[in-house]
A and B are shown apart, each in its own frame.
Chain A
Amino acid sequence: AQSVTQPDIHITVSEGASLELRCNYSYGATPYLFWYVQSPGQGLQLLLKYFSGDTLVQGIKGFEAEFKRSQSSFNLRKPSVHWSDAAEYFCAVGARAGNTPLVFGKGTRLSVIA
């Protein structure tokens, strides 16, 4: 069965510091991969996605993620965190074809301190 693991429940970083959020997945084939962000009381906003091609994908708000097939990982990175990046981040995996729904990780809450 498909699954997504986000090992870090909560991460605190200083404003201006770099960030890496981890995501590992279990899937039968090469999946589609997504990162979403959720501010308190809001819906999920798509940050970036990996479908195929270049394994380093760029997203909105200065985020990027790298797909590593050998490690079944899709880690999210940002070189310099801003206070407005404080939110919850979800990694998700989806099928390349067919109708199976997205499977989400439990999320990583990011706190940003001055």
Chain B
Amino acid sequence: KAGVTQTPRYLIKTRGQQVTLSCSPISGHRSVSWYQQTPGQGLQFLFEYFSETQRNKGNFPGRFSGRQFSNSRSEMNVSTLELGDSALYLCASSLGRREGNNTEAFFGQGTRLTVV
């Protein structure tokens, strides 16, 4: 079974530009979560999508947005990039049951975004 696939692996953008990152979850997984990882702040939760609906949202500005498609693939968009947005962006997929017990999350390799 294929793992979580994130594209692209590396990106260099200029301040003020926007960027879109993509995540394909494990087949059969309906929940996709996004995390930002930086040396200073560690892993911070951005948002989670389940069945095309945002189910949870972290404490990030509105410049960070996402969506999920009917095939569970997810995209994350960051508009008006700032230098501080430079980070490793990680996507995690899980079964994401609507009710009952949660399951473990499996992570992709990440997208390394550098804003110059």
B100 adjacent to chain A (CB < 8 Å): yes
A20-46, CB < 8 A from B: 32, 34, 36, 41-46
Q: How many A-B residue pairs have CB under 8 A?
A: 59
Given A42-B110, A43-B4, verify A101-B104 contact (CB < 8 Å). no
| Chain B positions near chain A (C-beta within 8 angstroms) | 4, 6, 33, 42-43, 45, 48, 50, 55-56, 58, 90, 92, 96, 99-102, 104-110, 112
Q: A32-B104, A99-B56 are in contact. List 10 more A-B contacts (CB 8 A).
A: A43-B4, A44-B92, A46-B105, A96-B102, A98-B102, A99-B102, A101-B48, A101-B56, A102-B33, A103-B45
Main secondary structure on chain B at its contact with chain A? strand
A96 touches B101 (CB 8 A): yes
User: Least Cβ distance of A17 to chain B in Å?
Assistant: 27
Once the chains are docked, how many angstroms separate the CA of A45 from the CA of B107? 7
A97 touches B102 (CB 8 A): yes
